[in-house]
Amino acid sequence: MTTTTTTEYIHDLHDLGAFVDERIRPIQGGYMKDRPEAVAILAKLRRGAGKSLTAVPELLGLTLDHDFYEKFPPGHPHIDAAEAAAHEALTLYALHQQSKREQGMHKRGRDLGGAVRRLMPGGTIDEPLRKRFVQAGSALDDGVRLDRLRGIVKLLRASDVPLDYGLLADQLYRIRAFKTGPARVRAEWGRGFQSYRPPAADREGEAGPATAPTDD
């Protein structure tokens, strides 16, 4: 785990997260340069956002390619969990990046909890948003969780708040693959939410009229 500031960490990625990170990087770079191939790939992936892999089988070659099956061969004990998590992370990213040509919406180190907290300016807690975030973590049904994450991603996109989709993929995989996964991921999301603090420059800007210049 690499420390970048006192409040932000870049978690090491596991096999699935590394695959998703490596898959997104050239697409994101191409999209921001308006390259037709990258634009087309994102448009196709976006159609799968919020849908299960089985609901959009035409995306199989875009989300699960040869590189994926090199890391997760068909005999892998958690192949279903890996396939679903990769599909969900990649399609949610495509939704997040839509119409964003100036900034990449996949950014290493931006965990989900901290990203949601960034949507709450001034250090105050937006209770409806906090509740939506908690509901995403507590969802027992995979489809319900995905739908709630899709709603959160749309809010992040509207406010230009990026997310680490490699980390998200690893977390979605652990939720499905391991008995203790859901509780551990909920704890990670909650920790990111509670520990986030805005950069010093932003905190100074939030001081409001007391620090604003006055006309003499």
Question: What CA dihedral angle connects 68, 71, 75 and 76, to 10 degrees?
Answer: -110
The pLDDT tens digits of the residues spanning 186-205 come to: 999 999 999 988 766 455 44
pLDDT in tens, 141-174: 999 999 999 999 999 999 999 999 999 999 999 9
pLDDT, residue 8, reads 59
Query: What is the value of pTM for the model shown?
Result: 0.88
Residue with tokens 């099956």: 69
206 has a pLDDT exceeding 80: no
In whole angstroms, how far apart are CA 92 and each of 74, 85, 136, 215?
Answer: 24, 11, 14, 47
Residue 3 pairs in a beta bridge with: 9
Q: What is the pLDDT of residue 155?
A: 97
pLDDT of 26 > 90? The answer is yes
Token couple for 84: 């679903």
Radius of gyration (C-alpha) of the chain in whole angstroms: 18
pLDDT tens digits for 39-71? 999 999 999 999 999 999 999 999 999 999 999
Residue 6, pLDDT score: 42
Cα–Cα distance, 170 to 180 (Å, whole number): 14
CA 130/CA 120 separation, integer angstroms: 9
Tens digits of per-residue pLDDT, 113-151? 999 999 998 768 899 999 999 999 999 999 999 999 999
The predicted pLDDT at position 59 comes to 95
Q: Which residues pair with 194 in a beta bridge?
A: none
Residue 17 pLDDT more than 60?
A: yes
For residue 207, how many other CB atoms are within 10 A of its CB? 10
The mean pLDDT value for 18-23 works out to: 98
Give the tokens for residue 31: 């999209």
Q: Which residue bears the tokens 């620090």?
A: 211
